[in-house]
Amino acid sequence: MKKNEKTNVMRILQGKKIPFESHSYEEDPTLRGEDIAAILGEDPKHVFKTLVTQGSSKAYYVFVLPVMEELDLKKAAKLSGEKSVSMIKQKELLPLTGYVHGGCSPIGMKKQFPTFIHKSAKDLDKIFVSAGKVGIQVELSPHDLIELTGCRVEDIV
């Protein structure tokens, strides 16, 4: 990443006057969420991943949760009013959201889907989410993220 490179996520945050900090790291496809937290020098409970699912009705839903947690698909289905939800295929992510695997952000998707964030976020002063590109994270207030994306705060793990 170039030192002054800006992603669409950063442009959206700046446009809405939402304070954030960007953090970059060397792209590596073997990195897991807990590795990224360690690189950032942060507790993994502050680093969130963005997962995109599809319900039995064919509607899409976004779930934002700490990197060390697993999405509970039964809870996700119930919260979204679906019989079931499943993770979308990796090859469907880019055309649907505009983001690649490992760089998916709840901010600035091609279309705003119903979004849910894990309830632990409301107790944190800061969280990290992808800046929309592999190797770049943005640090911001979870309250700002919730307000910007309109996400519901729920128990999703």
In this structure, of 3-7, 10-14, 65-69, 107-111, the range with the lowest mean pLDDT score is 3-7
Classify 8-154 by CATH class. Answer: alpha beta
Output the CA torsion 87→90→96→102 (10° steps).
100
Q: Across residues 65-86, what is the average pLDDT? A: 98
Residue-wise pLDDT for 84-112, tens only, equals 999 999 999 999 999 999 999 999 999 99
Q: Do the Cβ atoms of 132 and 108 come closer than 8 Å?
A: yes
Separation between Cα atoms, residue 141 and residue 124, nearest integer Å: 8
- pLDDT exceeds 90 at position 83: yes
For 35, the token pair is 């590795």
pLDDT confidence band for 5 (50 / 70 / 90):
confident
pLDDT band for 3, please (50, 70, 90 cuts).
Answer: low
Indicate the domain borders of the chain: 8-154
11-46 residue pLDDT tens: 999 999 999 999 999 988 889 999 999 999 999 999
116-146 tens-digit pLDDT: 999 999 999 999 999 999 999 999 999 999 9
With 0-12 / 13-18 / 19 or more C-beta atoms within 10 angstroms meaning exposed / middle / buried, residue 83 is exposed
From edge to edge, which strands make up the β-sheet containing 85-87? Answer: 85-87, 48-55, 60-66, 115-118, 152-154
Q: What does pLDDT average to over the chain?
A: 95
